[in-house]
Every structure is written in structure tokens, then in C-alpha cells.
Homo-oligomer: A and B are copies of this chain.
Amino acid sequence: MSDINDVLARIDGNLDASLKRLSEFLAIPSISTDSAFKAECRRAAQWAADELSAIGFEARVADTQGHPMVVAHRKPKGATRHVLFYGHYDVQPPDPLDLWTTPPFEARLQDGPRGKQIVARGSSDDKGQLLTFIEAARAFIETEGELPVAVTVLLEGEEESGSPSLKPFFDANKDELKADLALVCDTGMWDATTPAVTTRLRGLVGEEITVTTAGRDLHSGMYGGPALNPIKVLANLIATLHDTDGRVAVPGFYDGVEELPDAIATQWRGLGFDEKGFLGEAGLSVASGEQNRSVLEKIWARPTCEINGVFGGYTGEGFKTVIPAGASAKISFRLVGKQDPLKIRNAFRTYLTEKLPAGAKIAFHDHGASAALELSADSPALALAARGLQDEWDKEPLLMGSGGSIPIVGAFKRELGMDTLLIGFALDDDRIHSPNEKYELSSFHKGTRSWARILARLAEWR
């Protein structure tokens, strides 16, 4: 087994050179959403492929219908495990430019409240983060001559524009990309001193419903009384979606939802999460939803039903005494655990259809469905990565949830049958997508060291 201390020492000694490489990478304005920067995207891809080649990966820039992918492999003889590392080289546009205190594509090392920060577009999302992995690989190869596990690196250039080329690329390169596990470095730590693995991502079912009662909009003077009002019907239906305890009332909705394991529950309770502060920042005065569950549990581990939009009748300035022909709502469910998106869609549709009063019709429109993703707490790879993080940060990593979804993780599961370890070193105040985006120097440095430790640990995975 390799001596991890040599690798870590190499990382420490290389830090200035690593930062120089990061600065070069950040200087390329690889804005994927703006076609004016198409060549810059390719330049960023080429830069990353060249770096990977330089440390001994078999690397290529692979064309797609949009911006290219970078694919690189290094598969040591005798390695028992193979991981796929994913990151993205594209960045958000820097606008509004005048809010930047330094030019967005000239990385600066500045003093911040927690020490030095690297300020530039993409420093945290995702160039800085993805380089932590590549620099860790570099240190391993330069120190030990080889990686402890087989590694494929996949870098995308369309993450900020919806990843349209991902599925076709997966379809065309399944065998090349398939590994034992995916590693994604696009998430954050719990706080500046507490590492985290995001092990839970909620799923999503989107539905649009339209209630119709009349053949045309009616005048409420002429028809008010006998005419069934579709907004009223819609409101009644929405009102039945939750019970008085804040639980979703659709039959069977909680099938597949498991209670939080005691260990996780204890860990989350121990965080001292400032619920009031979190809600207050959003202008919320109380915690709503299910009774007797913490805010973190509600967001990370409980399913929801939300009304995301509603519209019907006259919605302009002033007033019109109309009874509209119809009214609509956009409704979504966040899913957890083993909830089945399609069963829930069907149960929802049946539930509302049965509650529909005489004289009303309802139409449903499908706005997509994806299941929740959850890495089992028993996963050996998770346990090994967690030990690597604990070694570096001297603190047990938090097994977090994410209330939203991270599409790439679903794609890895669906298209390539791989679980994903979501480990990143971003902080909540990194201002990703905003002016003056930064990445803590400690995130970059200790993040690189963390990946070295994790790679070493993953070699123990049997």
C-alpha cells in the first residue's frame, strides 16, 4: 500500500504550482450558455485534456452536438476498483459585470474572514472543485508512480446549460464510461470545518392540472349562481392535497418512505442547525409542513407536495366579473427513499379525479418524473470515503441530504447503473452564479488532500 503521507506532502509542496494551474484554467471564459464563447469552451476542454495527458492519463476531447466532453482514463494494472470522476469545465456568465470588484476571469488570491480566497468566475463552480481531484491524482502519480484505483475522468461543458449532450454521449459510450462508482465534486461542506457527503437527493414528479367547467368564459352576472366556478373547484382540489397535520393526503403517497436511521437522526440533531435563521433569511416566520420533524429532516429526508403555480380567470389590473371556463395549477412532488414516481403520479390523478364534482372535467399534463436517489448508509465505498474525509478534517463527515435534485446523479444511476458519491468542498457563501464568486484556499488545498485520502481508502474497497 502507498504511503499517503508522501502524497499529502507532495500536495502541500505543490500548492503554488496547483494554484498557478487553477489560475490558467479560470482565465478561460468557458461560458456555455453564450455561443460567442464556443471556442473558449473548447479551449477549456483542451486545457483540461492536456493537463490529464501530462500526468499520464489517456485523454481526449470528444465532440458532441454542443460543447465537447473531456474523457480520460488511467487504469493501473491490478487495480481492483474503478471510479468515474465527473466535473464540468463550463461556467455561468459573469453578469452583472459591474458588481465584480476584480475582473471575473483574472483569479485573485484575497484575504477573507476565514483566510485566503480564490476570487474568479468558476473558482468554486466547478473549475476549482474539479481541480482538487486532478491535483490529488497528480500528487499520487508523481509520488507513487501510479493511482491506487482505476480512474476515468469525465468533464462536461454544458452543465450550466442543461446538459443536452449527456444522454446521447452516455448512450454512445456506455462501456467506456461504466465504472464501479461515480465521484462528483459539485457539492459543498456543511460548514468551513465540517466535511460532508451528500447521500440523499430528493426525486421529483411534476404535474399540471386544468379544471374545466364551461365551454367559454362566462359573465358572473349572467351565470353567477348556477355556473360551477372552476377556480373554486381547483381550490377545493388543492385544499385536499394535505391533511391537517401537513401530510400529503394522496393514498399510498408514503409507501417507500422510511424513517431516518437513528445514527443519521442523531447526527443531524447534533448539528445545532439554526432553523430560525435559515427560515428568517427567506422571510419565513414559522416552520410549516409535517408535524414534529426538524427543518433539515423536512428538506433532506421527507417528501412534499408543492403548488408551484396557479392561474385562471382575470389576472390583470383592476377587476373583471368573469367566471372562467377553466383554471390550472402546476403541482410537484419531491420524493425520498423508495417512493415510486409513476405510482405517485397515478395515485394523484386518481385521487383528484375521484374528488371532482359533477360538472367539472380535469386534464393532467406530465412535467417529468424522477425517483429519489439515496446512497445506503451501509455502502462500503461511502464508509471508506467518509474515513478519508475524517482523516483530513479530524471530524466525522456529515451525511447530508439535498432537497433538490442533481440531474447527473440520476443519469449515472439510470444510464450507467452507477451509484454516486457526492463530495465537495464548496461553502454556502461561495457566491456561485453571482458576482465575486470565490473558493476558499482551504477548500482547494484540503479538498485536494481529501481526494488523495479518499482514493487511498477506495483501494481498500473489496
Contacts and interface: CB of A to CB of B under 8 A. Distances in A.
Contact of A227 (B214, B288, B325): B288
Interface string A275-304: 100010011111111100001001100101
B282 A220 contact: no
Interface stretch (A71-79, A316-324, A374-382): A316-324
What's the number of copies of this chain in the assembled complex?
2
Contacts of A311: 310-312, 315
Given A232-B307, A299-B226, A307-B229, A221 B404 contact: yes
Nearest to A299: B225
Given A225-B295, A312-B310, A283 B239 contact: no
A315 B222 CA distance: 28
Nearest to A213: B284
A308 B319 contact: yes
A224 B403 contact: yes
Contact of A319 (B206, B214, B282, B328): B206
Given A321-B332, A359-B284, A306 B224 contact: yes
A334 B220 contact: yes
Interface in A198-223: 202, 204, 206, 208, 213-216, 218-223
A163 to B, nearest CB: 17
A226 B312 CA distance: 27
Given A322-B309, A327-B310, A232 B242 contact: yes
A404 B219 contact: yes
Interface centre among A289, A307, A325 (most CB of B within 10 A): A307
Interface string A326-363: 01111010100000000000000000000001110000
Contact of A236 (B239, B286, B402): B239
A232 B309 CA distance: 10
A222 B404 contact: yes
Contacts of A320: 308-309, 330
Contact of A226 (B220, B283, B298, B308): B298
A330 B307 CA distance: 19
A202 B329 CA distance: 31
Contact of A310 (B231, B359, B402): B231
Nearest to A403: B221
B307 A314 contact: no
Contacts of A367: 318-319
A405 interface: yes
11 contacts: A213-B284, A215-B283, A220-B332, A221-B404, A225-B302, A228-B289, A236-B239, A284-B359, A286-B358, A308-B321, A309-B324
